[in-house]
Structure formats: structure tokens, C-alpha cells
Amino acid sequence: MVEIEVLQGDITKLKVDAIVNAANCSLLGGGGVDGAIHRAAGRELLMACMKFGGCQTGEARITPGFKLPAKFVIHTPGPIYNDGLHGEPELLRSCYENSMKLAEENGCETVAFSAISTGVYGYPKKAATEIAVKTVREYPTQNVKKVIFCCFGEDMLKIYQKVL
Ligand code: AR6
């Protein structure tokens, strides 16, 4: 089973093989963690993302990290939370699965996830955390040795610690 760690901080500072960005379907940047990642990685990241022509909710794409300490950025648009009855849990699960798949395929050993959909997209934090932890725990890994859940705020950190 993959080693799991939780920490509080800015994901753009992490020197890991891949960080996972809570993107939107355009993959062209935005606010929140997406904005922070694009600012820190530089304009080349935007250029690389433009080539994909967008990405559906629950899918994922990988780019180099450019100016980031991380080797790769995995971009995944999470679901916008409505009432939980519009496929949100399944889509959020897909985000984690497809991100793990890309990390595996690209030989990543360390992967740091942001808390996908829990900001602007309004996914209830505890429910999102349970999906994140369960999906990563259940994912069959070969290359990935360690997953870090990177929490921006203390409230999120506490939720992760409780769920873990
Ligand atoms: N490092 C780690 N986590 C962060 C950072 C950071 N530097 N900054 C924010 N977070 P959000 P979403 C946390 O809103 O809900 C964007 O505009 C934040 O506290 O970034 O998936 C995209 O372009 C929260 O827990 O992503 C999309 O349009 C988590 O990251 C939309 O927001 C996710 O919050 C996606 O919304």
C-alpha cells in the first residue's frame, strides 16, 4: 500500500515528482491553487496546457513543471458541487484515479494532491476528503511510493488528519 502523508502548505513549493492541480475544463488557469501553480510555473505552463484543447471533468492531463520544483503537473478539473446527486462523487473519484494513473505511467514516485473541488467548486470538505483518501488507498501502485495531501488551511488539515 502507498505511504500517505498530510501537510499544510503551498503546493507550489513542494519538490516532488508530480503535483496535482485543481484545474478547470479549459486548463488555461484560473484562481485558487490553479492560479498559484500557473504563476509559479511561468508562461510555458500555459503554452503546454493550450495544446490539450481543454479537458473534461474527472479526466487528467500531464505537463512538465517548468519553473516549479515539481517535475510534473497533473491537471484535473474537479466537479462543481451541486447537491451530490449529479455524479459529483463519481467524478471526484475519477479525478484521483486518472491522476494516479498518469503519475504511474510517468514513473512518479512522489505525488502531492491539492484538495480538488473543495474551494471555488464548493464540494463539502469532509465528503471530498473521504473520496480522496479512499481512492488513493485503493489504487494499485507500482511506481508511486508516496502520496502527500497538501492542505492550504488548518481546517482542511484537521479534516484530513481525522479521515486518515
Ligand atoms: N497550495 C495548496 N492548496 C491550495 C493553494 C496552494 N497554493 N491555493 C488554494 N489551495 P480551488 P476548486 C486549496 O478553489 O475548488 C480555479 O479558479 C484551497 O484552499 O483552488 O477545484 C480553477 O481554475 C482548496 O482547499 O479549486 C477552477 O476554475 C483547494 O486548494 C476552480 O478554481 C481547491 O480550491 C476549481 O475549483
Region 107-112: mean pLDDT is 98
> Is 34 in the active site?
yes
CA-based end-to-end distance of the chain: 14
Q: Which atom of ligand 1 is nearest to the CA of 115?
A: 29
To test the ligand 1 pocket, which listed residue (57, 117, 120) has its Cβ within 8 A of the most ligand atoms?
120
34 lines ligand 1 (CB under 6 A): yes
Q: Give the single-character DSSP code of 132.
A: H
Region 5-18: mean pLDDT is 98
Region 11-34: mean pLDDT is 98
Which grid cell sits at 141? 501502485
Residue pair 63/48 in contact by the 8 Å Cβ criterion: yes
Helices (H), the chain: 32-41, 43-50, 88-105, 125-138, 154-163
State residue 67's pLDDT score.
Answer: 98
Please write the tens of the pLDDT for every residue from 23-43: 999 999 999 999 999 999 999
Instruction: Catalytic residue, from 10, 17, 34, 155: name it.
Output: 34
**Ligand 1 midpoint to CA 102 (Å):** 20
State residue 1's pLDDT score.
Answer: 79
Domain residue limits, the chain: 3-163
| Residues 6+ away with beta carbon under 8 Å from 126 | 159, 163
Give the residue from 24, 59, 54, 53 showing the smallest Cα distance to 38.
24
- Distance separating alpha carbons of residues 58 and 142, to the nearest angstrom: 22
State residue 17's pLDDT score.
Answer: 99
**Ligand 1 midpoint to CA 163 (Å):** 20
Give percent above pLDDT 70 in the chain. 100
Give the residue from 133, 150, 129, 147 showing the smallest Cα distance to 13.
150
For the domain 3-163, what is the CATH superfamily, name and number? Leucine Aminopeptidase, subunit E, domain 1 (3.40.220.10)
Amino acid at 99: S
Please write the tens of the pLDDT for every residue from 64-101: 999 999 999 999 999 999 999 999 999 999 999 999 99
State residue 75's pLDDT score.
Answer: 99
121 lines ligand 1 (CB under 6 A): yes
- Distance separating alpha carbons of residues 36 and 84, to the nearest angstrom: 28
Region 100-117: mean pLDDT is 98
**Ligand 1 midpoint to CA 70 (Å):** 18
Amino acid at 149: F
pLDDT of 118 strictly over 90: yes
